[in-house]
Amino acid sequence: MATTYEFTTEDIEYLRHGSTALKLRLYKARGTGPFAAVIDLHGGAWGKGSLEECKGRDEVLARSGLLVAALDFRDGNHGYPSALVDINYAIRWLKARAAQLQTRADLIGLSGQSSGGHLAMLAAMRPADPRYAAIALPAGSPAVDASVRCVAMSWPVINPLSRYRNALRGREAGAAWVGDIPERQGSFWKNDDNMSDGNPVLMLERGEKVVTPPALWLQGRPDPVHDYRDPESPVALNEPERFAANYRKAGGSIGLVYIEQAARQSAVSYDAVAAFLHEHMPVERAAAMAK
């Protein structure tokens, strides 16, 4: 039977832009560690999300023995690539404090849901992009990069350009799921060129050299918001299968797991993410205060 860990939570400012402080919520399993770590990214169509929405998943991950950092980052009108700048910095910030936080710099992964899943994959594929790594750590910090061990995506918006156009088509057809998705996407991405540039699907299809860590795509069904076919795609596949095929062709390993849509925010989803992270970030379990 798997050990269940008690954990504490703490909000920490990891970066400041002028008067705006960005925080991460640290879920720390009790024990001596080291514990594998994951930075978790909220969704919200790049314009209306909060680290609070990660709470259910992050508590499950922490109880499984992971150090979890739910991240606040710039989105919305701050525009692309602001979120990637903050995420890239947060990865390096966590690595630089690995010993202090009872983790290891080589045992850090990313996870995220919806647009957060997209950001997790994009950050992982371009860890050394100078636009994303634009903010240096404080003087005297260890020399660390923003590479990660693995990426767990929950129903990611992997192709912002096709999803934007899909939402516009849905609005014309009167689809209830569309809501204000085009407006939220537009506030962050601004134009089609940005949605093409920061696009893991198109990056692979245009042959960009990227990093491909082990990945998980967890997808609910039915889900017209994330699981649809792009009519402009060169292949007759929905976006999950399209991305997975290209990722494998580029040398990456990715698992594509389908669940019932109603089970997305449940143990069915959260336990699958925890299992994947432990599989790809194995570490000797520390003695801890188990329930």
Block means of pLDDT (10 residues each) for the chain, 291 residues, are 87 97 96 95 93 95 98 96 99 98 97 98 99 98 98 98 96 94 96 98 98 98 92 94 98 96 85 97 57 37
- The answer to whether 211 touches 203, Cβ cutoff 8 Å, is no
Distance from C-alpha of 248 to C-alpha of 245, rounded to nearest angstrom:
5
Q: What is the CATH number of the domain that holds 141?
A: 3.40.50.1820
Q: Is residue 41 part of a domain?
A: yes
Distance, CA of 57 to CA of 55 (rounded, Å)? 6
Q: Is 189 inside any structural domain?
A: no
Q: In which residue are the tokens 């997305």 written? A: 264
- The total number of structural domains in the chain stands at 1
What pLDDT is stored for residue 288 in this prediction?
39
Helices (H), ranges, the chain? 55-63, 82-96, 115-125, 160-172, 181-189, 192-197, 200-205, 239-249, 267-280
Residue with token string 């739910």: 70
Q: What is the DSSP string of 214-270?
A: -EEEEEEES-TTTS---TT-SSSS-HHHHHHHHHHHTT--EEEEEEEGGGTTSHHHH
Please give the pLDDT value at position 287.
Answer: 35
The answer to whether residue 199 sits within a structural domain is no
Using the 8-state DSSP alphabet, how is residue 191 labeled?
S
Q: Is 137 helix (H, G, I), strand (E, B) or coil?
A: coil
Residue labelled with tokens 């601004």: 190
At residue 284, the pLDDT reads 61
Residue 71 CA to chain centroid, in angstroms? 10
Residue 264's pLDDT is 82
Could you give the CA distance from residue 117 to residue 120 in angstroms, rounded to a whole number? 5
- Give the number of C-alpha atoms closer than 13 A to the C-alpha of residue 245, restricted to the C-beta side: 12
- Does residue 217 fall inside a structural domain? yes
Distance CA 137, CA 144 (A): 9
**Reduced to 3 states, what is the DSSP secondary structure of residue 74?**
coil
DSSP annotation of 281: S
Q: How many CA atoms lie less than 13 Å away from 193 in the CB half-sphere?
A: 0
Does 107 fall in a domain? Answer: yes
73-to-30, 126, 195 alpha-carbon distances in Å: 27, 17, 19
Range of the domain at 58: 7-158+211-225+256-280
Residue 177 lies in a domain: no
The model's pTM is 0.95
How much is the pLDDT for 286? 41
Element containing residue 8 per DSSP (H, E)? strand 7-17
Burial of residue 227 (CB within 10 Å: 0-12, 13-18, 19+) is middle
The distance from CA 48 to its chain's CA centroid, rounded to whole angstroms, is 16
**Looking at the domain assignment, is residue 34 inside a domain?**
yes
Residue 95, domain member (yes or no): yes
Q: Which positions ≥6 away from 61 have C-beta within 8 Å? A: 27, 38, 40, 68, 111, 270, 273, 274, 277
pLDDT value, residue 1: 43
